[in-house]
Amino acid sequence: MKKTFYILSFLFLITGCSDSNDSSDDLSPAEPHFYKGMDLSFQSELETYDVEYKDENGNPINLLDFVSENGTNLVRLKLWNTPQNVQNSLSDIKAYALKIKNKKMDFLLDFHYSDTWADPGPQTPFKHGRTWILIKLKLPFMNIPKTSYSN
């Protein structure tokens, strides 16, 4: 029995070792990836006003094509909890994110825990959180990203 075990172990050892030049296990560092980004959170709203963008020669351009062709590879989008209109809502952001991905760019989703613009001075909590105490306020903050990911 011991003899069979040693023979099988020896065979597994010999057949398990390979002299292959397969480089798939190469652990060399990957090329660094740098982002050149911009914030286009309000671009979908500006498109509803038929804003026309032009290049330096005055020719009309498609903004996403232009920024992509000029090196932008990351676009920031803000998602508001309960916006006053469809701008910066989940459905609006999803639609614009698809346009960005179709241009072969990435996007950075920025969760705003506010219903409107948030600046360093007035930080108005979102509509459904105004009457909650601080402890209860933490739960909705955790649910916003979770809900967005599941949609």
Domain contains 17: no
More confident residue, 38 or 139: 38
124 found inside a domain: yes
- Burial (0-12, 13-18, 19+ Cβ within 10 Å), 116: middle
- Structural domain including 52 reads 34-150
CA distance 91 to 34: 29
Q: Is residue 16 part of a domain?
A: no
Q: What is the pLDDT of residue 103?
A: 95
Q: Is residue 21 part of a domain?
A: no
pLDDT band at 85 (very low <50, low <70, confident <90, very high): confident
Amino acid 86: pLDDT? 79
Say if 12 falls within a structural domain. no
pLDDT of residue 118: 62
Domain presence at residue 4? no
Strand order in the sheet with 106-112: 37-39, 74-80, 106-112
Of the pLDDT bands very low, low, confident and very high (cuts 50, 70, 90), residue 14 is low
Q: How far is CA 25 from the centre of its chain?
A: 29
Q: Tell whether the model's pLDDT for residue 114 goes beyond 90.
A: no
Distance between CA atoms of 73 and 101, rounded to whole angstroms? 10
The tens digit of pLDDT for each residue in 118-130 reads 666 666 666 655 4
pLDDT the model gives residue 131: 46
Asked if 115 and 122 touch (Cβ cutoff 8 Å), the reply is no
The whole-number pLDDT of residue 136 equals 45
Q: Is residue 116 one of the residues assigned to a domain?
A: yes
- What pLDDT, on a 0 to 100 scale, did the predictor assign at position 132? 44
- Mean model confidence pLDDT for the chain: 75
Number of domains observed in the structure of the chain:
1
Cut 0.75: pTM above it: no
Q: Within a domain: residue 145?
A: yes
